[in-house]
Structure 1
Amino acid sequence: MKILFRFALILLCAVTTVASLLSFVVMGLLGMSLGDFVQKMNFQAGLYVFPALMLLDCCCFINDSFAYFASKSSLGLALGFSEVRFSYDQDNSDIPIPLRTKVLHIYPASILFILLLFALVLVTR
């Protein structure tokens, strides 16, 4: 039951984050109405790849953020979040990427990159 609650919490936070980021970029920065956005998304089915990638990236980011804050706090979270392990490809030692580096640098940069590509594709279509 704890695993299901943990998964639901991560998914809920990720969906909320992706929806708020997409609405901020599409409606706020690009000035598109919701109807135009839905029409473009339905016309080009390949555009759904960008929100799906953002959702996957946000799920990993939120899971690792919970794991990072649980390890830094004295209370800890009772749900027992653990990080998603990635390692460098250039070495043979299989050294994992530090959790702090992923949470503060890698995930935000990749989410921003995907969001900017999505905005660029929406503007050019």
Structure 2
Amino acid sequence: MTDDDEAPLSGEDRHRAETLLYDHFKFLTTLSLLALGGVLTLSQSGQIEPMTVRQVLLVLAPISIGGACALSGATGIVAARHAGKEPRQRQLGLYRRVSVLGIGIGTGGFLALFMDALR
């Protein structure tokens, strides 16, 4: 790494990075909604051994938390810009990490339960 990699972003580059992060949050919000719909549909399809309510809730909770964090991140960017301020980078970084982690854990948990139910 060079010192150039750690230099602060210029105004236009910062705007591009912020726009990219906003689009990423929108994508994660949509992905969480699709994952929630898929989990609910497949868990009630009747073609596999039914999952218990506890199992479904253990899968839905992290996906929901991930989606809520993604929506909060996008809202944080919009609210800060509307107020003429800079978005809080630490907060956005936390939202980004938690949203990806939640969606990943929930989807992975569902796949593990779903594959086990197919046996």
Tell me the TM-score normalised to structure 1 length: 0.47
More helix by share: 2
